[in-house]
Amino acid sequence: MRTERREGERAAQYQNLLGLMGEPHGDRAAAPDALIKAIRMRSVMNCHRLAEAYRETSKVAYVSEQFPTEVVFAAGAMPWNIESMAIMLAQSVDVNRIFQLTQEKGLSRDICSFLRGPHGMMLANCYPTPDVVLTNDQPCEGLAKQMCLAGKRFDVPVIAMNTPESFDEDAIGYVARQIERMRERMAAELGLEGSSESLQRAVAFSNDAREYYRKTVALLETHKLPGISRELQEIFGMNYFGARENVTLCKALYQAAAELAKAAPGGGKRVIWIGQVPEETHELLRHMSREVEILYWAPLWNANLRSLDETRSLHSIAERAILYHWNAERMSVELERICDRFSVEGFVIVNVWGCRNIAGISPMLRDFAARRKIKHITINVDLVDRNNYAFNHVKNRVDAFLELMQ
């Protein structure tokens, strides 16, 4: 196993990243004044995290979606969500070059671009070398495999967690024990010592941030708040729960939402965007936002809104990990709640090419929508690889859906 990094390796990788910066793909819709502070704060925080991750002395942990990052922060490491990073960077880097690299290496284009993107970033050697790879096998096994490949590529330990679907004490205990062992391995193999005090602290930060996050989501129930749902999605995607500055960010977002709520009555047609989310300037989002208000589904999930029990942190983190599972029955109950509380009138089911997970739950989503008389559209798109998608092709049916919503 490789233990030493080459001198200057991360500095070179950071330069490689900068070298890939290209023109932005679209204009950001003008944000309301009240929200600008929170958006800027998020940008600065992301920049800082990026810069920190490229410092030679930082401990970087690659993590998968919805990974319990409190554990990572408690260990003093920097979580690098390989998927969210790829989506964020796709706004600026030359994505064509990234996908070309994956093709040169024979990676099938049938694999979803949310997996090919990070893979290409690694091939371009512009992600910082990780010290450890931490992964969960849900919601996506493909992503878990990708994480294992990353571990192999950089020759670093991969610590994987298996999350069962059933939500009972056995399953919760099983996941909690895995997290405990993960912490022990991180300490033993990497010197990433996560004391119980540091875990307590990370959980407390996570809860403080979550409190503001939850209050912001609650405001969305009764108010139309332009840009807020997107920011909630961004915070969910980057998943810095457990970091002190995330509390500041969530607080700033809540304050912005409260400010906007003073002037914003409810009303207007609402749809929820179900499935993977493209970067915020994507033309599909801009096109739809002219007619309907888009709420992203993930920030509204119960699993994402619950606080952790500070007296039983690992148990509580394990519960949340299971609840994040894309279990069709629980998801259907969740959707009932979301549709009622947020007055949802439409579903946009986004089926990213090559994603078995969304394809698997789509029939349930369509049946649900039909039962609740919710208008719905399924769009098959590629939100990152532009070689696989033409806006005009999708626009036609999106327009029909928007007409349906009128």
Partner 1 sequence: MITVGIDVGSLSTKSALMNNRLEVIASDVVLTGGTNRAAAETTYEQVLTKAGLTRDDVGYVVTTGYGRENVTFANKHLSEITCHGFGMHLINPEIRTILEIGGQDSKAIRIDEHGNVENFAMNDKCAAGCGRFLEVTARAMGVPLDQLGEVSAHSQNIVRISNTCTVFAETEVVSLVAVGTPIPDIVRGVHNSIAARAASLLRTVTISGRVGMSGGVALNSGVVRALADALKTDIYVVDNPQVRGAIGAAFIGQRQVASRDA
Binding residues for partner 1, per CB under 8 A?
Answer: 366, 370, 375-376, 378-380, 392-394, 396-397, 399-400, 403-404
Among 80, 114, 205, 213, binds ligand SF4 (CB under 6 A): 114
Query: In terms of CB distance, is 288 or 383 closer to ligand SF4?
Result: 383
145 near ligand SF4, rule: CB under 6 A? no
252 near ligand SF4, rule: CB under 6 A? no
**Cβ contacts of residue 158 below 8 Å, gap of 6+?**
132, 133, 134, 135, 147, 148, 150, 151, 152
Q: How far is the CB of 393 from partner 1 (least distance, A)?
A: 7
115 near ligand SF4, rule: CB under 6 A? yes
Q: What are the DSSP calls for 112-139, one per residue?
A: -HHHHHHHHHHHTT-SPPPSEEEEE-SS
Q: How far is the CB of 362 from partner 1 (least distance, A)?
A: 10
Which x/- pattern, by CB under 6 A, does the window 62-101 give for ligand SF4? ----------------------------------------
Q: Which two tokens stand for residue 319?
A: 């519960």
Q: Which does 379 bind (CB under 5 to 8 A by kind): ligand SF4, partner 1, none?
A: partner 1
Query: Which residues in 201-308 belong to E strands, given as ranges?
Result: 270-275, 293-296
State the burial class of residue 332 (Cβ atoms within 10 Å of its Cβ: 0-12, 13-18, 19+).
middle
Question: Which letter, b or e, does each residue of 383-392 get, where b requires 16 or more Cβ atoms within 10 Å of its Cβ?
Answer: bbbeebbeee
Residue with tokens 């192999």: 152
Q: How far is the CB of 268 from partner 1 (least distance, A)?
A: 20
Q: How far is the CB of 149 from ligand SF4 (least distance, A)?
A: 13
Can you tell me the distance from the alpha carbon of 350 to that of 13, in angstroms, rounded to the nearest whole number?
33
Q: Which does 136 bind (CB under 5 to 8 A by kind): partner 1, ligand SF4, none?
A: none
Among 129, 216, 239, 276, binds ligand SF4 (CB under 6 A): 276
Closest CA to 228 of 247, 212, 242: 212
Can you tell me the distance from the alpha carbon of 83 to that of 71, in angstroms, rounded to the nearest whole number?
19
Among 140, 238, 349, 365, binds ligand SF4 (CB under 6 A): 140
Give the footprint of ligand SF4 on residues 302-331 (CB under 6 A). Answer: none
Query: Phi first, then psi: what are they for 109, rounded to 5°?
Result: -75, -5
Residues that bind ligand SF4 (CB under 6 A): 112, 114-115, 139-140, 142-143, 276, 352, 355, 357-358
